[in-house]
Amino acid sequence: MLGLGKIAKKVFGTPNDRKVKATRPLVAKINALEPEFEKLSDEGIIEKTAELQKRARDGEDLDTLLPEAFANCREGARRALGLRAFDTQLMGGIFLHQGNIAEQKTGEGKTLTATFPAYLNALSGKGVHVVTVNDYLAKRDAEWMSNVFTALGMTTGVVYPQQPDAEKKAAYACDVTYATNNELGFDYLRDNMKSELAQMSQRDHNFAIVDEVDSILIDEARTPLVISGPAEDRSEKYITIDKLIPELKDDHFTLDEKTRNVTFTDEGNEFLEELLATYGQLPEGQSLYDPESTTLVHHVNQGLRAHKLFTRDKDYIVRDGEVVLIDEFTGRMMSGRRLSDGLHQAIEAKEDCKIQPENVTLASVTFQNYFRLYDKLGGMTGTAATEADEFAEIYGLGVVEVPTNRPIARVDEHDAVYRTANEKFAAIVEEIKKVNATGQPILVGTTSIEKSELLSQLLTTAEVKHNVLNARQHEQEAQIVADAGKLGAVTIATNMAGRGTDIKLGGNVEFKIMDAIAADPDTHPDEVRERIEKDHASDEEAVKAAGGLFILATERHESRRIDNQLRGRSGRQGDPGRSSFFLSLDDDLMRIFGSERLDKVLSSLGMKEGEAIVHPWVNKSLEKAQAKVEGRNFDIRKQLLKFDDVMNDQRKVIFAQRREIMETEDLSEIVDDMRTQVIDDMVEAHIPPKSYADQWDTQGLYVSTIENLGIDVPVAEWAAEEGADDDTLRERLEEESQKFMTEKAEQFGPENMRRIEKQLLLQTIDAKWREHLLTLEHLRSVVGFRGYAQRDPLNEYKTESFELFDGLLNSLRQEVTTNLAKIRPLSPEEQQEMMRQIAAQQTQQQKTVQAATQAAVEEAQAPIEGFDENNPETWGNPNRNDPCPCGSGKRFKHCHGSLV
Ligand code: ADP
Ligand code: MG
């Protein structure tokens, strides 16, 4: 019987049905235009683009241009690729243009779908970014779709790591630019470390279409992008702090061994304040609770942890003057591994070892905040609906399920639950053997590389020929995954492996042709193509007859979305297919969630050794368990984001300021404003408003006038004059310092002065910002530690980081004013020397940034440590034509990279 809700859905349609229905008139319009566009000549299509571009520039709404633009794009793509876009692809394109996530199943042709909104939105001339999960896909899609854009008279670019600057800039200048999320984020950060506008490579953040959007905006959004570099040497600080730790008594702090946290008691705080003051670490009148004390508190915390929570020869050993960590589970030394946030340095200080330099963040951004920069965002994936809440809340993105072009014919079986992992794996091997004998191709999904390997061993023992993949070697993998649909193929892959590559029944024609040409270079490519295409048709039929692709999942992932993704690799475009999940009570998810209850129910259902329970109830309760984990992960991401949001507002201010400085020819007004503010602050500090003359500190004002403004003026005399007050003093100081600076500018020559101002401003901003980033990192760990009674750490973080930022702006003004007041015209030799120094400094900075980003990019790209020629896992992503990394001397494609 249908529930009431289901009946209502039948009658009124779901909200999603209504959204889909709403696009039908638009699709009909595009279809009606088709005959007209079919008649256009190839030039006619390009002219149409020019016309649409003009109309867009003249202010016509993109929504009104949509039908013609889509019709033109469909025609262009048909000619360039030989693919006529399905109505469902137009629909997906409409949803993307409207700023949604279009959920389109695997094999529905999302790559082509994206060209429609990309084309439409590029008409404005502001560029569109198409974002992919890895460099291989960025390149593949750019190459493939550039045919379409060229036919339409638009330019296509692709951005990749370590690309020469000029090329990168050119790629961003294209109408449509393909890039990975990593490279986009890094370019954004790098751009904002440049000192001239012309060196920046990105332009507008107009519209981004993110492919595999769940992977990028959810899975990868847990870790921010970071560019880091060496910090200045702070060995002294560590050593000093280390000395005072032993003076702390037990009642000064509490230890939490489990979370490895320390918290100071109120007594401890008081004692510390005195102690730090005696050691000259805490300026007079400053409390440990002041935001200025953040870094100090952080260091004390780390020092205390180093002493009380880390024990020599248990947690670490000292070898050759170095602190080497010990793995708590295996007891092995972990050479090269270092604790972060200055904790390792604190232990080094404790053990009198040489203090190794720290790496600090030079720039960072989360993907959430990077992608929020875009005026409009759209996304595509096969699986988004389960995460609709997060997309809506964090990115303001709606999720629309686009109907499939053909009905799905895949059969999804209920989960089969075994008692133990061993029984489960035995059953899996049996099933694979049985199915493999029929020729039906099998894709086996695992949740980790280790499990893939385990299964591979079992299959080898059972003498089943198979391929093993993990999600690291994108290009090579794409080829093997593409062939996973061949008759008799058995492919083991982690769930994420080969994402973005379509598995076609009977194998991938293009890959087959490429291989055939490589194997037989003498035959004409057209002949090869003809032969392969003919063979392929029968291959495809044979696989269809065998039941299509069989997806065998060996465990449920924490996230149902990832499970659905795996499932969705079978049954593309109405193909036959089957999917089945094999589980056991030993699985992580089962153990963590309600397995006791499960246990009872399962035994009441009567579980026997080697036999599986298959019951809809199991599916339901697992779905609930997954929803719980997903909810928790969302909370973690939200919390992280809240912290980053605080910094993000500040980052935006700083980056905007930098930009303004670079864009502005003449900064004198900004610099004058800064000086005025500094004078205001000086006067206020020494001549409090509405105060009596005997409360004035004219001597102090005199001294700071010399220090900050570089002028020696009779402040005391002015103050003694009839009717003098803070306002008259302020005015006279402004007048005098203005005069002084104007004279200086004349001596330098206005052009030189403007250049100096610009240099100085940028340099000072950058230095202050980096220092601020470090302080914020410290603050974050400190708000967690401090005994803040009932106060909310996030609120504390917000308030304090705001104060710190305010302090940053203050000291920025002050430093710029003081330094400008101090400079004097130089002799030609001195001038040359100064220019040389500036140039050297700039090169140095560029080098640091380059090295840092390179390291970051490498880390982001290849999480593979230590190359080992005997272990293909460590080879990264070899080029198919390069020598095989195993050292055989053969080409990679004929050796370990061989596809057969
Ligand atoms: P997805 O990213 O949605 O999984 P792809 O963009 O990788 O799908 O496309 C899958 C396959 O479908 C490709 O081989 C492509 O050539 C093919 N394809 C896409 N659009 C069409 C179309 N309109 N007609 C026929 N084949 C298409
Ligand atoms: Mg795709």
Task: For residue range 371-389, list pLDDT tens digits in order.
Answer: 999 999 999 999 888 889 9
Q: Mean per-residue pLDDT for 623-650?
A: 86
Tell me the ligand closest to 113's alpha carbon. 1
Question: pTM of the predicted model, to two decimals?
Answer: 0.81
pLDDT at 679 over 90: yes
Look at residue 751 and give its three-state secondary structure.
helix
* Contact (Cβ atoms closer than 8 angstroms) between residue 423 and residue 601: no
Residue 470's SS3 state is coil
Domains 13-210+378-401 and 409-614 share a fold: yes
Q: How far is the CA of 506 from the centre of ligand 1 (A)?
A: 16
Q: Ligand 1, atom 17: nearest CA belongs to which residue?
A: 109
Q: Round to whole Å and give the CA distance between 159 and 161.
A: 7
Q: What is the pLDDT of residue 900?
A: 46
pLDDT (tens digit per residue) in 101-147: 999 999 999 999 999 999 999 999 999 999 999 999 999 999 999 99
CB atoms closer than 10 angstroms to residue 254:
13
Q: Which tens digits make up the pLDDT trace of 716-743?
A: 889 888 888 888 899 999 999 999 999 8
Residue of 81, 83, 564 to mutate, ligand 1, most atoms within 8 A of C-beta: 83
Instruction: From residue 210, give the alpha-carbon distance in Å to each of 133, 309, 495, 560.
Output: 9, 44, 20, 21
Which of 74, 96, 502, 567 has the most ligand 1 atoms within 8 A of CB, as the residue to mutate?
502
User: pLDDT of 406-415, one tens digit each?
Assistant: 999 999 999 9
For residue 265, pLDDT beyond 70: yes
> Could you tell me the distance, in angstroms and rounded to a whole number, from the CA of residue 557 to the centre of ligand 1?
27
* Each residue's pLDDT tens digit, 590-633: 776 665 666 676 667 667 777 888 878 778 878 888 888 888 88
User: What ligand 1 atom has the least distance to the C-alpha of 81?
Assistant: 16
Ramachandran region, residue 657 (left: φ > 0; alpha: ψ -120 to 50; beta: rest): alpha
Sign of CA dihedral 488, 489, 495, 499: negative
Residue 574 Cα to chain centre, angstroms: 35
Say how many Å lie between the CA of residue 109 and the centre of ligand 1: 3
In this prediction, residues 860-887 reach a mean pLDDT of 56
Question: Which ligand is nearest to the Cα of residue 112, counting in written order?
Answer: 1
The band of 94, judged by pLDDT with boundaries at 50, 70 and 90, is very high
> Which pLDDT value is given to residue 865?
41
Residue 411 bridge partners (DSSP): 578
Fold of 409-614: Rossmann fold (3.40.50)
Task: Pick the closest to residue 245 from 342, 338, 347 (CA basis).
Answer: 347
- Look at residue 358 in the predicted model and tell me its pLDDT: 79
Q: What was the pLDDT predicted at 293?
A: 78
Q: Give the pLDDT mean for 334-348.
A: 84
Write out pLDDT tens, residues 137-178.
999 999 999 999 999 999 999 999 999 999 999 999 999 999
* Better pLDDT: 214 or 856: 214
* Best CATH choice for the domain 232-357 from the list 1.10.357.10, 3.90.1440.10, 1.25.40.10, 3.40.50.300: 3.90.1440.10
**DSSP β-bridge partners for residue 376:** 207
| Per-domain residue ranges of the chain | 13-210+378-401, 232-357, 409-614, 649-822
Torsional class of 361: left (φ above 0), alpha (ψ -120 to 50), beta (otherwise) = beta
Instruction: Quote the ligand 2 centre to 107 CA distance (angstroms).
Output: 7
Q: Which residue's entry shows tokens 């380059």?
A: 850
Which residue among 79, 87, 111 has the greatest number of ligand 1 atoms within 8 angstroms of its CB, and so is best to mutate? 111
Give the ranges where 587-615 is alpha helix by DSSP (H): 588-592, 595-605
Alpha carbon of 384 to ligand 2 centroid (Å): 14
> What's the CA gap between 536 and 509, in Å, rounded?
7
Cα–Cα distances (Å) from 529 to 482, 509, 516, 543, 827, in that order, read 17, 9, 9, 20, 74
Task: Considering every ligand atom shown, identify the ligand nearest to the alpha carbon of residue 504 and give its number.
Answer: 1
Position 862 scores a pLDDT of 43
The binding-site residues of ligand 1, defined as CB within 6 angstroms of any ligand atom, are 83-86, 89, 104, 106-112, 502
Q: What share of the chain is helix, strand, coil (3-state, %, to 5)?
A: 60, 10, 30
Q: What is the mean pLDDT of the chain?
A: 86
For ligand 1, pick from 112, 178, 401, 402 the residue to mutate: most ligand atoms within 8 Å of CB: 112
In SS3 terms, 502-547 reads as: CCCCCCCHHHHHHHHHHHCCCCCHHHHHHHHHHHHHHHHHHHHHCC
- In this structure, which residue's CA is closest to atom 23 in ligand 1? 85
One CATH from 3.40.50.720, 3.40.50.10540, 3.10.580.10, 1.10.3060.10 for 649-822? 1.10.3060.10
Closest residue to atom 13 of ligand 1, CA basis? 109
Please give the pLDDT value at position 494: 83
The CATH number of domain 13-210+378-401, selected from 3.40.50.2300, 1.10.760.10, 3.40.50.300, 3.40.920.10: 3.40.50.300
Q: What is the pLDDT of residues 489-531, one digit of tens each?
A: 999 988 777 777 889 999 988 888 888 888 888 888 888 888 8
Return the closest-CA partner of residue 132 out of 368, 367, 475, 380.
380
Query: What separation in Å is there between the alpha carbon of 824 and the centre of ligand 2?
Result: 61
Query: How crowded is residue 765: how many other Cβ atoms within 10 Å of its Cβ?
Result: 20
Q: What is the H or E stretch that residue 262 is in?
A: strand 261-264
Flag whether pLDDT at 752 surpasses 90: no
Q: Which ligand is nearest to the CA of 109?
A: 1
Instruction: Provide the pLDDT confidence category of residue 879 given band limits of 50, 70 and 90.
Output: low
**132 three-class SS:** strand
Task: Kindly tell me if the per-residue pLDDT of 874 is higher than 70.
Answer: no
CA 423 to ligand 1 center in whole angstroms: 39
Give the ligand whose atoms come closest to the C-alpha of residue 382.
1
Q: How confident is the model at residue 888, as a pLDDT?
A: 62
Helix or strand run (H / E) with residue 674:
helix 668-686
- Rounded to the nearest 5°, which phi and psi values hold at 882? -75, 160
Q: What count of other Cβ atoms lies within 10 Å of the Cβ of residue 410?
A: 21
Q: What is the pLDDT of residue 881?
A: 56
H or E element in which residue 156 lies? strand 156-158
CA of 11 to the centre of ligand 1 (A): 33
Q: Which residues pair with 131 in a beta bridge?
A: 179, 210
Distance from residue 25's CA to the centre of ligand 2 (Å): 27
Q: CA nearest 37: which of 128, 152, 205, 160?
A: 152
Contacts of 192 (CB under 8 A, 6+ apart): 363, 655, 658
